[in-house]
Each structure stands twice: as C-alpha cells, then as structure tokens.
Amino acid sequence: MELTLLGTAAAEGWPAPFCVCLNCEAARRRGGVNLRTRSGALVDDDLKIDFCPDTVVQMQQTGRSLARLETLVFTHQHSDHIIPQELWWVERPFTQTPPARPITLCGNAQVLKMVEEQLGDMPAEVRPYVLRLLEPLRPMVTPSGDEILPLPAEHIEGALVLRIRRSAARGGATIFYGHDSGLYPPETLDALAAGPPLDVALFDCTNGGQTVDYRGHMSVSGVVQMAAELRRRGCATGRTRLIATHFSHNGGLLHEELVQAFLPHGIEVGFDGMVVRT
C-alpha cells in the first residue's frame, strides 16, 4: 500500500494568503516542506480521501492522476475538505479519459447534500458518482472490497475520522485517518482497539505547539496523548507509522521544530507529497 499525503495544512494553508505573521514569513523564507497546501490523501491510485481546493495543483506537483479513482471518501463538510464544484473535472470535456465506471463517493449527510446540489437533476444512470452515506460506527464495504469504518470525531457536527482497511487483494493494510478532530471520543478509541493493528495512523495537529488545546483540533501534546492511547490499547504497535498532519501557522512550530517536538515520541511529521509505504 502506498499512501500519499497530498496536503498537510489547516483550512487557510501555510503560509496563509493574507498573513504576514512570523510563522507565515518564516515558511515563505524556508520554503520546501514548510509550504503546506490544504489536506487530502491518495491511497495507491484508486482511493482518495477528501477533495480540497488545492487538489488540482497537488496532482500536478506529485505527477499523479485520478484517472484510476474508484472510491472518494470524505471526512466532513468544511471547505478545506470538499469543494463540490471541482468534482465535475471527472466528466468530459474536462477529462478525455473519464472512468469506465462511476466513482463510489462516500460521506456524511452534510457532504452528500452538497454533492447532490451539484449533481442537480442529473439522472442516476449517467452520474459520474454513486453516493453512499457514511454513518458513525457502521462499517461500509466499497465495490473494490475496502472496508471503511467511519468513527465519531470531536469537530463539526457529523464529522468523521476513518479507519480504512484495504481489501486482501490490495494487501489488506489498515489506515487510521484521524483528522479533523480534537481528542478522540471514547467510542472511537474503543472501536479502533477492537480492530486490527494499524499500519498507519494520521493525527490532527492544527494547534501545533500551542499549550491551550482548542476544541475540534489537537496540538502536539494532544497527538502525543492519543498516540500513547492507541499504543496502550494495542492498535498502534512498533510497526505502526504514526504521523501528525493538518498544521496551522497559528500553531507556531515550523516543520523542523515539529520534527524535534515529536522525535522522542516516535511520531513523524507529515509534509506535502510525503509517501508512506507498507
């Protein structure tokens, strides 16, 4: 399994367009891994998580395409995770190579409503997407054979974090996509503990080095706490890649400083274009 982190910033990106704070200016100066676009990920070539406004440029920068996409799964309805107008690029004439079959599009009720508004009265038989509702703690198996377990997040109403178990034919790896969320609700931790060991776990680190843990997101200390909790419960093992992502300039720690902060805890720091192989 190959997981590509396409973007690793919070909603406004880092540097943020209207901001010349010390952290945005430092990111502009240092460049490289300190330049972060809005979040999203690609699993191999067939499964995408979220579709942010930076998706076009992310596909260009990674040299990848969505031509083989089978499943598109959304965590929640914030605009840095779904931009419904851009779902049309799957259709002719925006692509000369549309998918042979409709893409399975999974999301909570709020996400599906946004997509439905885009599709309007387009008849089901010609729609490029088949919509599937995700409900917390109800596992869903995609036509490709992957199992998606949506779990409650501590974020906006309806927001989900996801445990994705690839089909056996695709290697069977298990990913925990843990953002956007504050400290995970007990039922989410219980469900993860009841499942298979994780190959990869991603955590929300919007608040970076801030000592106050604002609700709906985590800081370095929250990520360390949740990683320890997953280890204690046995779903994170010595083989699990633990990775923090979804960083805001307001968090105050640049990439190199985040690396130092997480190093003693065995947690990696995500960056745009990071590829995780299991």
Between 146 and 180, whose beta carbon lies closer to Zn ion?
A: 180
Closest to 258 (Cα-Cα) out of 229, 223, 228, 225: 223
Report which DSSP code applies to 269.
E
Check if the beta carbon of residue 35 is closer than 8 Å to that of residue 60. Answer: no
Burial class (CB in 10 A: 0-12, 13-18, 19+), 213: middle
Cα within 13 Å of Cα(243), Cβ side:
25
Stretch that binds Zn ion, among 20-28, 82-90, 107-115, 222-230 (CB under 5 A): 20-28
Identify the residue whose tokens are 């929250």.
222
- Residue 21 binds to Zn ion (criterion: CB under 5 A): yes
Which 114-153 positions form the footprint of Zn ion (CB under 5 A)? none
Least distance (Å) between residue 240 CB and Zn ion: 23
User: Which residue among 36, 48, 78, 255 contacts Zn ion (CB under 5 A)?
Assistant: 78
Between 54 and 80, whose beta carbon lies closer to Zn ion?
A: 80
Between 153 and 173, whose beta carbon lies closer to Zn ion?
A: 153
Least distance (Å) between residue 182 CB and Zn ion: 11
How far apart are the C-alpha atoms of 82 and 38, rounded to whole Å? 10
Sheet of 274-277, strand order: 129-133, 103-107, 71-73, 47-49, 40-43, 2-7, 274-277
Report which DSSP code applies to 136.
T
Identify the residue whose tokens are 């300190």.
34
Tell me the number of residues near Zn ion by CB under 5 A.
Answer: 8
160-165/268-269 β-pairing: unpaired
- Residue 263 binds to Zn ion (criterion: CB under 5 A): no
**Phi and psi, residue 189, nearest 5°:** -65, -40
Between 102 and 158, whose beta carbon lies closer to Zn ion?
A: 158
- Residue 180 binds to Zn ion (criterion: CB under 5 A): yes
User: Which residue among 36, 165, 166, 249 contacts Zn ion (CB under 5 A)?
Assistant: 249
Between 119 and 253, whose beta carbon lies closer to Zn ion?
A: 253
- Residue 204 binds to Zn ion (criterion: CB under 5 A): no
First vs last C-alpha separation in the chain:
5
- Residue 70 binds to Zn ion (criterion: CB under 5 A): no
* Number of residues that this document lists for the chain: 278
Least distance (Å) between residue 131 CB and Zn ion: 21
Between 60 and 79, whose beta carbon lies closer to Zn ion?
A: 79
User: Which residue among 80, 146, 199, 268 contacts Zn ion (CB under 5 A)?
Assistant: 80
- Residue 272 binds to Zn ion (criterion: CB under 5 A): no
Positions that interact with Zn ion (CB under 5 A): 16, 19, 21, 24, 78, 80, 180, 249
